[in-house]
Chains A and B, each alone.
Chain A
């Protein structure tokens, strides 16, 4: 399998649930990213993990918790979410200091009820 794979493709969860989104890249990249895509809004960078740094968007609520156990895997742990957190969550990877852009996964469509 090649590219960036995200699971699950769809997720419906209640506000009291705990769930995790998974992202896996098979490209040998050394940086991974979580983006949130909401209707009528630009893509919002949530977290960046690379060999050199972890970067967080300070506006991301603490109910979103990232985990990057190695350069190929990235998780987004979710707990006590709100309905406004419903969105498409996109994972991407890249090679740091290379001129290429990101490679994206197909996203997880999250609905919070």
Chain B
């Protein structure tokens, strides 16, 4: 079974600075997807960024980018120019590319605090 591990329960960063959230995963599959979700106090999980395992190029979405190391099974999220609205729980998630209704497997989450 696949597992996802986020080793940082909490992180903090100064506004406008850069922060990196860590994620590692374990799988025997070669084709899969990785995601970072954000959960603000409103509780709704919001997709931040997605990475296909077959793509070597790291995904980027505005201030958010990932460092995807397939051999190391590592998938970190970098947030540049941190803003107060970035404060939230961040979850790393894995999904197989095989099968029918592919199930998302989540890490434990990292609570990110932005200091003004």
User: Do the two chains bind?
Assistant: yes
Binding site for B on A (CB under 8 A): 31, 33, 40-43, 45, 48-50, 52-53, 55, 88, 90, 92, 94, 96-97, 99-107, 109
Q: Which of A50, A100, A101 contacts B100 (CB 8 A)?
A: A50
Quote the shortest CB–CB distance from A17 to chain B (angstroms): 23
Q: Which of A40, A52, A101, A109 contacts B93 (CB 8 A)?
A: A101
Chain A residue numbers with a CB within 8 Å of B46 are 104
Add 18 more A-B contacts to A48-B103, A96-B100 (CB < 8 A): A31-B100, A42-B4, A42-B106, A42-B107, A50-B100, A53-B100, A53-B101, A55-B103, A90-B45, A92-B104, A100-B47, A100-B50, A101-B33, A101-B37, A102-B47, A104-B37, A104-B45, A106-B43
Binding site for A on B (CB under 8 A): 4, 33, 35, 37, 42-47, 50, 52, 91, 93, 95, 97, 100-109
Chain A residue numbers with a CB within 8 Å of B109 are 42
Name A102's closest neighbour in chain B (CB-CB). B104
Complex: A94 Cα to B101 Cα, angstroms: 8
Contact B42 A106, beta carbon cutoff 8 Å? yes
The answer to whether A43 and B52 touch (CB under 8 A), given A53-B101, A101-B35, A107-B44, is no
Complex: A88 Cα to B42 Cα, angstroms: 12
Quote the shortest CB–CB distance from A112 to chain B (angstroms): 18
Q: List 9 A-B contacts (CB under 8 A).
A: A42-B106, A48-B101, A52-B101, A55-B103, A88-B43, A96-B101, A100-B50, A101-B95, A102-B47
Complex: A49 Cα to B31 Cα, angstroms: 23
